[in-house]
Chains A and B, each alone.
Chain A
Amino acid sequence: MSVETLKAALHDAAADLPTDVEGVYEAVVRVARRRRGRRRVAMAVPALAVMLGLAVAFVGLVGSPDRQVVVAGSTPSSSTVPAPSAQWRPPTQRVGNELVVTLRLLGGGSMQLALPASVDPAAVTTFEVGGSVTVTGQPNLARDVLVERGTIADIYRGHRLLKTYRGVDGQPVFLYRRPESDKIDYLVFQIGDSVVSIWDYPPGDSRGAAMTDQQRELWATHLRGHDTADGFLVLDPLPPLTQVRTTDGPDASLQFGSNGINVLFRACQPDELRGPHDARGFITHVFKDSGTWVCDPQVPLIVDVFGAIAWQRNIAANFELRHLTGPLPLHW
């Protein structure tokens, strides 16, 4: 028997196997969305006693660096005070029989999430803002952006500092190896009260090429952001870095311990559009352990309520999203 005969026989054998995949893709994506939020939390919690802000964003990178400044060996100063705004929570107010939470996205868009008055704002344990996308001709350089509230000295304490670059305003930008996260390197920025980390493959990694020094310098000199007056981080990358619309992960996530709410600005899928509309115009799908998905076909967006079944029922039936103002990921 030849190798080609063996290959053909193997393919024939595979062709005889069942080919039913109905519903598998939807289930895979659903579990992935949920797990993506939890993965970010799991990465941040060991580094901070209280972790409040995380985000994932793709940021595109094109062109060549416009300057080269590399300062090797600098070390971030050690912090002896708690992480900045460690107790920070999104602004809330009680209006009638509602708790109204202001949420602002990484790109600056904002909204108000109205919840039943029974929800305790002090129970908020995590606020995450989800990522935006930019792929401007070089998709292999698109990157997740991990945002954690705190200081570099706190979050990267004990990790190996590989190199220091100079940032857009002359501040240091550090390249760290963070072994607990899949042996990934991170280019690390302190922006306001948040630490923003850009992942990279270590040199020689079989999964993909590491960025070049010039590419990291480009990141360092073009990624910037600020804290808004109400305490949210907003990214303002300079061209050629571009922040565009969201990934498939949550654009905003508010967690109350093991219960939570994810907001995803994306069109409802055909299977999510099946079912009756409620008085708000929403279509609700209950997956129990996998959460309750509420599709708003008008915006469009998805609200994913997860956690205890009673929590899911209460929130899914009663929440409202109001005052959506741009830039929202859908319109980027």
Chain B
Amino acid sequence: MEGSVLDDFEEFFARNYLSVRHAVTLAFGSADLADDAAQEAFIRACVRWSRVRSMARPQGWVYVTATNVARDRLRRAGRREYSEGRENVQEAARDVAISAVAHVDVRDALAALAPRQRMAVVLRYLADLTNEEVARAMGCSVGTVKSTLHSALAGLRVDLKETR
């Protein structure tokens, strides 16, 4: 039995950590923010591992947690930057995303989306979260997720018939 629970978490970490970090990077356009958020999400998962591992989709929980952490940190940073007279942090994050991914067509298109649209697309189609999980990550209703995805996919010129 030695190490069985730890091994369990280690395997979970190995399977999912990079995916979570990458998804948050693409969703928020900041590798540093993604590092922080992904690590924080996995720390929280490890702290309550007995509970998280019993969930139907532990990886979904970690994605949602990482996204929430990133949103919170961005919001706090936004308030700080606003008080210093700087541009809105959402715009800054978007600029980072554009500069980071501009050399690839789909990233160009992704970066051109509104932040919430980009987050919804990444969580739904890269992280493969359910609409309900995306809703929890974005702090909105499932209906809002669907409408956000619809407009985002339209912006990306994705064949919307395939999404019905």
A58 and B5 CA atoms in complex are apart in Å by 10
* 1/0 contact string of B13-45 vs chain A (CB within 8 Å): 110011101110110000100000001001110
B137 at the interface (CB under 8 A from A): no
Q: Are B106 and A133 in contact (CB under 8 A)?
A: no
* Given A18-B31, A28-B39, A244-B1: A35 and B126 interface contact (C-beta under 8 Å): no
Q: Are A248 and B9 in contact (CB under 8 A)?
A: yes
The 8 Å CB contact of B106, one of A9, A141, A247, A267, is A9
Q: Are B2 and A267 in contact (CB under 8 A)?
A: yes
Q: Are A143 and B50 in contact (CB under 8 A)?
A: yes
B84 at the interface (CB under 8 A from A): no
B96 at the interface (CB under 8 A from A): no
Chain B residue, CB-CB nearest to A40: B47
Q: Are A144 and B106 in contact (CB under 8 A)?
A: no
A3 and B164 CA atoms in complex are apart in Å by 11
Which residues in A have their C-beta under 8 angstroms from that of B158? 1-3, 5-6
A24 and B10 CA atoms in complex are apart in Å by 11
Q: Are A3 and B159 in contact (CB under 8 A)?
A: yes
Which residue, of B13, B54, B126, has the highest number of chain A Cβ atoms within 10 A? B54
Q: Are B39 and A133 in contact (CB under 8 A)?
A: no
Q: Are A58 and B104 in contact (CB under 8 A)?
A: no
Which residues in B have their C-beta under 8 angstroms from that of A14? 19, 22-23, 25-26, 126
Chain B residue, CB-CB nearest to A138: B54
Which residues in B have their C-beta under 8 angstroms from that of A17? 21-22, 25-26, 31
Q: Are B107 and A247 in contact (CB under 8 A)?
A: no
Which residue, of A19, A32, A144, has the highest number of chain B Cβ atoms within 10 A? A32
A4 and B163 CA atoms in complex are apart in Å by 10
Which residue, of A2, A9, A10, A208, has the highest number of chain B Cβ atoms within 10 A? A10
Which residues in A have their C-beta under 8 angstroms from that of B104? 9, 12-13, 16
The 8 Å CB contact of A3, one of B39, B61, B163, is B163
Which residues in A have their C-beta under 8 angstroms from that of B157? 1
Interface residues contributed by chain B, number (CB under 8 Å) = 52
Which residues in A have their C-beta under 8 angstroms from that of B39? 24, 27-28
* Given A1-B158, A133-B4, A247-B5: A139 and B54 interface contact (C-beta under 8 Å): yes
* 1/0 contact string of A260-285 vs chain B (CB within 8 Å): 00000011000000000000000000
Q: Are A208 and B54 in contact (CB under 8 A)?
A: yes
Q: Are A199 and B122 in contact (CB under 8 A)?
A: no
- Taking residues whose C-beta sits less than 8 angstroms from the other chain, chain A's interface range is 35 or more
A142 at the interface (CB under 8 A from B): yes
Least CB distance, A87 to chain B, in whole angstroms: 29
* Given A13-B107, A58-B50: A330 and B26 interface contact (C-beta under 8 Å): no
Q: Are A330 and B2 in contact (CB under 8 A)?
A: yes
Q: Are A1 and B13 in contact (CB under 8 A)?
A: no
B85 at the interface (CB under 8 A from A): no
Chain A residue, CB-CB nearest to B107: A13
* Given A1-B157, A19-B18, A245-B2: A25 and B43 interface contact (C-beta under 8 Å): no
A139 and B9 CA atoms in complex are apart in Å by 14
* 1/0 contact string of B48-64 vs chain A (CB within 8 Å): 01110111100001000
Least CB distance, B161 to chain A, in whole angstroms: 10
Which residues in B have their C-beta under 8 angstroms from that of A35? 43, 47
Least CB distance, B35 to chain A, in whole angstroms: 8
Q: Are B3 and A267 in contact (CB under 8 A)?
A: yes
A143 and B5 CA atoms in complex are apart in Å by 13
Task: Name B residues whose Cβ lies closer than 8 Å to a Cβ of A.
Answer: 1-6, 9-10, 13-14, 17-19, 21-23, 25-26, 31, 39, 42-44, 46-47, 49-51, 53-56, 61, 101, 104-107, 110, 121-122, 125-126, 132, 136, 153, 156-159, 162-163
Task: Name A residues whose Cβ lies closer than 8 Å to a Cβ of B.
Answer: 1-7, 9-14, 16-19, 21, 24-25, 27-29, 31-32, 35-36, 39, 58, 133, 135, 139-144, 199, 206-208, 244-245, 247-248, 266-267, 330, 332
Known: A13-B106, A14-B25. 13 other contacts (CB 8 A): A3-B163, A9-B104, A11-B126, A13-B107, A14-B26, A14-B126, A21-B18, A25-B13, A29-B9, A144-B50, A247-B5, A247-B49, A248-B46
Across chains A and B, which 3 residue pairs bring their CB atoms closest together, nearest first?
A32-B46, A9-B106, A14-B22
